[in-house]
Chain A
Amino acid sequence: MKTNIYQGIISLFVGSVLLLQAIISIAPVFGGTSGSRYWPILGYAMYSRSYSEGDFVDIYRLLEGVAEDGTIIPIPKESLGLHLWHYRNLVRDLQQGRKGAFEHLFSKLPPGTDIVEIRVKSFPVAVTRDGPVEKDSVVLATFPVPNRFRVHQ
């Protein structure tokens, strides 16, 4: 009886983990995503996108603030105290207007910084057959700063 219960528990564990991992592994074939929602069972989509010559190397996108007089204020990740991944996520959150993202950005900027617009720019490096080349950064998106974060309204 005790043996059967133990074997049942182990069977449930190995069966469900292997089955779930198999489903997540082949999900992209059927149009599903192999995400990390069910971590520690997750998709292993590591370095999986393909790229072509001339593509910008999307290390992370750069943030810039634009003051009312047109002055550009760079906002590097170091100024926000964020590692690369979370800086990347913050840029995404700002673009999506996620609650809390603007609050976090302005809490880290020097007091009195008045920005009317935020720009998202590409990292200025592209890939070629011969290796990396410097390429002018392009503006990928711009969006206005909500009034509540403006110093002079």
Chain B
Amino acid sequence: MSWLRRWNDFWFQPGHSFDLAFIRLVLVGLQCFVLLSYSFPALTYALSLPEYLYEPRIVTRLLMPWAAHTMLDSSVVLGMFWIAFLFGLTSFLGLFTNFSLLVFAFLNILLQAFIYSFGDVHHPEAVMMLALVALALSPSGRVLSIDAWWRARRQRDPAQLIPLLDHMTQYARWPIVFLQCFFPLMYLSAVVSKLTKGGFDWANGISLQYYMILEAHKNDSALALYVSQFHYLLKFAEYIVLTFQATFFLILFFPRLKWIYLPLGIIFHTVIYVTLRAPFPQWIAMYIVYIPWALAFTWLAQKKVSDSAQLSP
């Protein structure tokens, strides 16, 4: 079999339309919330910063070459924000889904790149930007959307209508597999940077104590300050972190391992949020790409329950 054939067979097998649409609803819904709760204050603050700090990111120079040397005007930035939010709503509802998602992804990338054009870059948003592009390029509005409702209304032949959870689309699988493959690369980067900067010395207990104290002062976290006193507990946590990040890729080859890695990852990111106040809601939400939702709901719908309670007095 040729390499091209293998490549196509891997990426373009049919997938459940429901899985992809469910991911669209969760990720777009979350991104709309992030836009209002985080991006808007961050944009307002960025617009107050001195122009000498403005160094547009490469992605801005590529997508908006005319803004490569001059800082965007505040009315343009805020205009882009509200258009992005509007298209976020239409993407969520599935109205002209692909077009809406394309505009939503494009504007989100530009807005986030603008926030990051003043010398300060963080990690949670990047994977969400790539996920939005993947959703925009895929049939993510095939079901659970206004587009799908219109299509169903136009369909006169009931025989052509099939149950929602059974609907398959040829291109519904690749965005999910893409994100499943992307996560291990992020964790790989995290563990490689730790081991190349300090070797296994990173897991000396002191490193995490240091970060707890750092974030306690930065974010006024009393819990981080309290936890920073427990040397051996944090040393143990460092080994867990290194093991988790270094072996997360196994989830691709042994899917059953998700029942260990996903709860561990949720605990991991939640503890980071509660103690270090570093929010990674996009990462936690994106774990949904590892769950076959259509199969899970089908299985649940077929489960039988005992009716004996009705018989008792």
Chain A interface residues toward B at CB < 8 A = 6-7, 9-11, 13-14, 17-18, 21-22, 24-26, 28-29, 34, 36-53, 55, 57-59, 81, 83-86, 89, 98-101, 103-104, 107, 123, 125, 127, 129-132
CB distance from A92 to the nearest CB of B (A): 9
Q: Are B225 and A132 in contact (CB under 8 A)?
A: yes
The residue from A10, A21, A49 contacting B197, defined by CB atoms under 8 A apart = A49
A17 to B183 alpha-carbon distance, docked (Å)? 12
- Bound complex: CA A17 to CA B121 (Å): 19
Over the window 164-188 of chain B, the binary record of Cβ atoms lying under 8 Å from chain A Cβ atoms (1 yes, 0 no) is 0000000100100010011001111
Known: A81-B48, A89-B119. 11 other contacts (CB 8 A): A14-B174, A17-B182, A18-B178, A25-B185, A25-B189, A26-B188, A34-B192, A36-B116, A50-B198, A57-B217, A99-B52
B-side interface size class = 35 or more
Query: Can you list 6 A-B pairs, Cβ within 8 angstroms, ordered by A?
Result: A10-B137, A48-B198, A50-B206, A59-B217, A104-B52, A125-B213
A-B contact count (CB 8 A): 183
Residues of B within 8 A of A (CB): 7-8, 11-12, 45, 48-53, 57-59, 109, 112-113, 116, 118-121, 123, 125-127, 129-130, 133-134, 137, 171, 174, 178, 181-182, 185-190, 192-194, 196-199, 201-202, 204-211, 213-214, 216-218, 225, 228-229, 231, 276, 278
Contacts of B206 in A (CB 8 A): 50-53, 55, 127, 129
Instruction: Across the interface, name the chain A residue whose C-beta is closest to B217.
Output: A59
Residue pair B192, A25 in contact (C-beta under 8 Å): yes
A31 to chain B, nearest CB (A): 9
Inter-subunit contact B229/A48 (CB<8 Å) = no
- Closest beta carbon of chain B to A9's beta carbon, Å: 7
Are B137's CB and A13's CB within 8 A?
yes
Chain A residues, Cβ within 8 Å of B229: 130-131
Residues of B within 8 A of A53 (CB): 206
A129 to B208, CA, bound (A): 11
Q: Roughly how many angstroms separate A11 CA and B206 CA in the complex, as a whole number?
A: 44
